[in-house]
Amino acid sequence: MTKLIRFSIALALLATHTFVSAQSLWGGTEYGMSLDQVKSSVRNVMIPDIPSRLGDGAQEALRLENVEIVNKRFAASFYFIAGRLTQVTLSLEKGHKFDGAMLVFNSLTEALRAKYGREIARDIKRGVLNRADATWMAGRTNINVLAMSVGENDAFLNINYQVRVASSADKL
């Protein structure tokens, strides 16, 4: 084989590997994107006034307000570690009690089932701590819907797109 043919084959294999290993998150984003790449992929993102931080150290660097899903408003938060996208979280607007959040939770799980199939886990508990949780795997991406409240306090509801569990599975 000539050097040119070997080089072409190697380049094709490398391109295929890069394409296959890309892990989609939400809204046209992929795990590992830079801040500028996310800005180019998602219209109207902005730098949040008060960024949040996740337990793993990921920092919210971009936010997209007024995302409508199942006829409700969400904010999309884009979290980065070392300048690379690691998670996207969609948060339901504030002001919902747990029963109201559960109506949205049920609508979301129906929509996600239509897109990704049956969830791999689902759990709902009511009591002092109210919690509803459903999880899907889409390729190498974990999608989790979580609604929670304490007593009669307002609930929060998030949809998380991440690769943590999938990355941990590689070690097994």
Q: What is the pLDDT of residue 167?
A: 61
Helix, strand, or coil here: 172? Answer: coil
Cα(87)–Cα(4) distance, integer angstroms: 40
Cα(64)–Cα(67) distance, integer angstroms: 7
Let me know if residue 7 belongs to a domain: no
Q: What is the pLDDT of residue 41?
A: 96
Q: What is the pLDDT of residue 14?
A: 39
Residues of the chain with pLDDT under 50: 3-20
Let me know if residue 88 belongs to a domain: yes
Q: What is the pLDDT of residue 1?
A: 53
The C-alpha angle with vertex 88 and arms to 85 and 91, in degrees rounded to 5, equals: 150
Beta-carbon neighbour count of residue 40 at 10 Å? 12
Domain count, the chain: 1
Let me know if residue 99 belongs to a domain: yes
Query: Could you tell me how far CA 7 lies from the centroid of its own chain?
Result: 37
What's the whole-model pTM score? 0.83
Let me know if residue 13 belongs to a domain: no
Q: What is the pLDDT of residue 22?
A: 72
Domain coverage including residue 46: 24-169
Let me know if residue 19 belongs to a domain: no
Phi/psi at 164 (5° precision):
-55, -55
